[in-house]
Amino acid sequence: MSIWFTSDHHFFHKNILKYCGRPFKNLEEMHEMMIKNWNSKIKPSDTVYYLGDFGLGPKQLMKELMVKLNGKRKILIKGNHDKSDASMLEIGFTEIHKYMDLNYQNVSIFLSHVPMRSIYHRLVLCGHVHEKMKVNGNIYNVGVDVNDFTPISINEILINYWKTLKEGKFIPMEFKIEGEDEQKI
């Protein structure tokens, strides 16, 4: 069993093609490619943490699409475009959370749909920002728009994150300590 992360497919959301400059002619082409990419990585026994904004279509269509996606456990960290918890469970997610803490090989990870700073976690995984950023400090975007429209494994995330930090290719995070000048890390 492997652990995977992804977000922001926006299934059945026609305007996402334009908003994010996605390279698909239409929704059918986008759906076909994303389903293919998902199933090329994720096996039926795997766990998927889905960090929000699965789709904007009718519940029945999203349920029919979800059945086509591999994964034994599909855990939703709810996004701003997701339906009610009951609807998302009916669509096929096995668990629904607003946020979640995860510990993987002694690395504390915070899961959220939106990027959030955390001094309590080594890594924050998010979606929501589409193509706007991939890594910013300890925040890592697992969204399809910056990951070749493909889910990403926990190992790939950790390797990419440490490589980015080592190469110094991250956007400094600005923060302010009360009573002191603004700092950057």
Domains recognised in the chain with CATH numbers: 3-170 (3.60.21.10)
96, 39, 94: which is closest to 69 by C-alpha? 39
pTM, to two decimals = 0.89
What is the Cα–Cα distance from 112 to 44, expressed in whole angstroms? Answer: 24
The total number of residues shown for the chain amounts to: 185
Task: Output the tens digit of pLDDT for each of the chain's 185 residues.
Answer: 899 999 999 999 999 999 999 999 999 999 999 999 999 999 999 999 999 999 999 999 999 999 999 999 999 999 999 999 999 999 999 999 999 999 998 889 999 999 998 888 989 999 999 999 888 878 999 999 999 999 999 999 988 888 877 777 655 444 444 444 444 43
Contact present, 53 and 86 (Cβ < 8 Å) = no
Q: Is the separation of the CB atoms in 46 and 71 below 8 Å?
A: yes
